[in-house]
Structure 1
Amino acid sequence: MTEKLYYQDVCQKEFTARGLYQKQDEAGNWFVVLSETTFYPTGGGQPHDTGTLNGELVTNVEEADGEIRHYVEKKLDQIEEIKGIIDWDRRFEHMQQHTGQHILTAAFVELFGFETVSFHLGQDTATIDITTNALTEDILQKVEQRANEIILENRPIETKWVTKEEALQYNLRKKLSVTENIRLVIIPDYDYNGCGGTHPTTTGQVSVLKILDWEKQKDKTRVQFICGNRVLKHLHFKHTTTTELSRLLSVPEGELPTATHKLLEANKVLGKTIDGLREELLQYEANELIAAASVLDGEKMVTKIFQNRTIQELQKLARLLTNQVEKINVFFITENGEQLQFVCLRDKEASINMKVVVQQILPLVEGKGGGNETAAQGGGKAIISGEELLKQIKNFVGE
């Protein structure tokens, strides 16, 4: 119980303690157990503290088998006297987010009766899951405003260790998960909650709370938010981003949505124009290939080797040929770096079995592929040149 009282109710950056022992876990990681500690172990949705013990970095803190384990990068030289230093910036940021969660959760309950069923404090944002899937922007705005009112009132935040019977005297926000060693975190006349996390002494230290986003999840809704210093970081990022966009688009920040919409519409038009030009180029290319086609046993033969063309584009080009000319066989190869890919296509009046052709040439490139009698494709390693592969195809079909 000494450790719990110490890390939860004492907020200080440095402390001294006696090491009880240090040992390795099953994975070979060293950890130290102390007589007392201000390091917070992972739990209740809040991440662990980091810092140092006798100058060695503390990488993880967790509670296991009734003890608090401080994982260090390497074994300590001695544990008789330990000096611990908390990474206070990380701790205070976690305190801001955790207390912000209490305030936000209580606001949802107070205004709309929506309860929180889970809390997660991430590296950049925090989330709560609430018992509704009918949130609106108006609801979120009212809840956010109420939460910030409580923060600005700078109400005291109290902690109390109570018995189960004593806890029942308070208007608790949710049912207790433990029956002994009960710790209450209290914002008078606003929120009473059983909690083992770390908190500042006043709501004003949370500074500000901002809801960022929300998404439905079956019968619940996940709400994403930030508090305190994270709001400043977020604002700095947004300001830097909008300033750069404003410069690039040559419009004031307030006109960015309109300018962006116009740009997107222009891009759609340009995209359609480009697609149309590509279709025209493919058709022009198809006409040239038809004009240069050879003839074998009364059927036209079109063969060509390309560089860095997608197999999808070659399939489209081949279809242009077979849709325009009867009794035509098309064999396309593209050299794409260390790969060779090929498309074999004919119209329904031609006679070459394209599936058989592909089966014959796949071993030459250690490749994979498939298809049917009229259309087949594949690809493999460029262990031979495109010219050599095309020569093998011609030999097989008898050209």
Structure 2
Amino acid sequence: MTERLYYQDPYIQHFTSQILKQGADENGAYVVLQETAFYPTGGGQPCDIGTLNHAQVTRVEEIEGEIRHYTSEALSGTVTGQIDWSRRFDHMQQHAGQHILSAAFAEKFGIPTISFHLGRDSSTIDLQIEELSQETVLAAEELANEIVFNNIPIEVRWMNEEEANTLPLRKKPKVTENIRIVMIKNFDYSGCGGTHPNRTGEVGAIKIVDWQRHKGHVRLTFLCGWRSIRTLQEKQTIVKDVVRLLNSKERDVASKLANLIETQKELEKSLRESHEQLLAHEANTLSRTARIHPNGKLIAAISHHSISDLAKMSAMLTQDSEAIVLLVTQTDDKIQCICACGQSIEQNMNEVLKSVLPLINGKGGGNAKSARGGGEASISAEDLLEQLIIKVSS
């Protein structure tokens, strides 16, 4: 079996080893080493990456008792490993931070953690509770950060089930031998196979950024250490930009934005009302162009409006039960039309539309009283309108 250097010292960044085996599986080509400092995926913690000689180690998995290092090129003999330390230390901060945060919820409120996921940008824990108040979240976060600032040693011990049972374990281990216990004295004792820093102070600030219901529990998202700092920097940059754009003090940003949003809503409402009035005015103008037709009053026109606006105008015009409305609009290489009629008109508008769609390689449909469609501008808007007029006149 491969000797696990990351358990001897999680701060090892360089090592030399012999290749014991080469192979390939569904994940690609891999090597198995005599010893390794690369942590394999497991226990909610992603694997380490880095290099073996000049080959990139893109993935590390423990499969069938082997720690498989998947590399970008073939290797043989003796290799020198280099861990991506920034990634490893980030995982150490997040994993230890999870222990502290989970223990804070358990210690202060009796809320157990049922799962943990360490993501690329943030981490989550699922808490065995259906609702979580802001007061509870802030109190647990404060306790967690107290543990960080007290810079308590984080100790790791291997023990059997009997020894483990003498400790106030937060969760019962799944194994009975070679149990690895991560201990924060007088605060948290947990069975864990992940990598952790030597003291809680190295975890850095713990910040809960979100929580929401998830499958009957609460999923809580948090950041630790450098992730907290980077996120604070990003948010501070955003706040400074908003303050500058609003010409406001930071504490007044929320109220000023609320006022702007309310003003925008009023302007949008006013704009919609004005637009509706414009459509009504144009529909009224078009109604005066109606021509006496054997089947009713024919209103045919080319418009610059969108198809949705044409639909609104046709609805206004067909309030006249004798109206037959044909409206066409064209934008660049697309042409669209509306065919509609009033209640007393017996002609089928869907059939009228379908008769001209082949001319524009188009699609569309509707019912006997209103239909719309569109296609390629292979003929002009004028020609399409003329064909529609011919169809309703035939």
TM above 0.5? yes
Give the 5 Å matches for 1:196-207.
196-207=193-204
**Equivalent position of 2:86 in the other structure:** 89
> What is the letter of the counterpart of residue 235 of structure 2?
K
Distance 1:60 1:334 in 2: 56
| Among 243, 256, 259, the residue aligned to 1:259 | 256
**Equivalent position of 2:352 in the other structure:** 357
Say whether the 8 Å CA contact 1:17–1:34 is kept in structure 2: yes
**Equivalent position of 2:19 in the other structure:** 19
Give the 5 Å matches for 1:1-399.
2-3=2-3, 5-10=4-9, 11-26=11-26, 29-76=28-75, 79-297=76-294, 299-307=296-304, 309-323=305-319, 325-398=320-393
Count of residues in correspondence between the two structures: 393
Q: Answer with 144-153 or 326-335: which moved more.
A: 326-335
In the TM superposition, what is the alpha-carbon distance from 1:70 to its structure 2 partner? 1.1
Seen in structure 2, the aligned counterparts of structure 1 residues 106 and 69 have a Cα distance that, compared at 3 Å, is same
Say whether the 8 Å CA contact 1:370–1:376 is kept in structure 2: yes
Cα deviation code 1:337-364 (max 9, x no counterpart): 3332221111102232102112222333
Distance 2:250 2:8 in 1: 46
In the TM superposition, what is the alpha-carbon distance from 1:92 to its structure 2 partner? 0.5
Say whether the 8 Å CA contact 2:243–2:250 is kept in structure 1: yes
Say whether the 8 Å CA contact 1:9–1:159 is kept in structure 2: no
Distance 1:297 1:354 in 2: 16
Distance 2:93 2:292 in 1: 79
What is the aligned-residue identity percentage? 45
Say whether the 8 Å CA contact 1:18–1:35 is kept in structure 2: yes
Say whether the 8 Å CA contact 1:8–1:40 is kept in structure 2: no
Cα deviation code 1:47-95 (max 9, x no counterpart): 111111102111111111111111112223xx21110101101110111
Q: Structure 1, unaligned stretches of length 5 or more?
A: none
| TM-score of the pair, normalised by structure 2 | 0.95
RMSD between aligned residues: 1.6
Seen in structure 2, the aligned counterparts of structure 1 residues 180 and 365 have a Cα distance that, compared at 3 Å, is farther
Distance 1:18 1:355 in 2: 77
> What is the letter of the counterpart of residue 87 of structure 1?
D
Distance 1:72 1:304 in 2: 68
| TM-score of the pair, normalised by structure 1 | 0.94
Distance 2:332 2:51 in 1: 51
Distance 1:70 1:218 in 2: 35
Say whether the 8 Å CA contact 1:155–1:204 is kept in structure 2: yes
In the TM superposition, what is the alpha-carbon distance from 1:2 to its structure 2 partner? 4.4
SS at match of 2:209: strand
SS at match of 1:18: strand
In the TM superposition, what is the alpha-carbon distance from 1:217 to its structure 2 partner? 2.0
> What is the letter of the counterpart of residue 287 of structure 1?
N
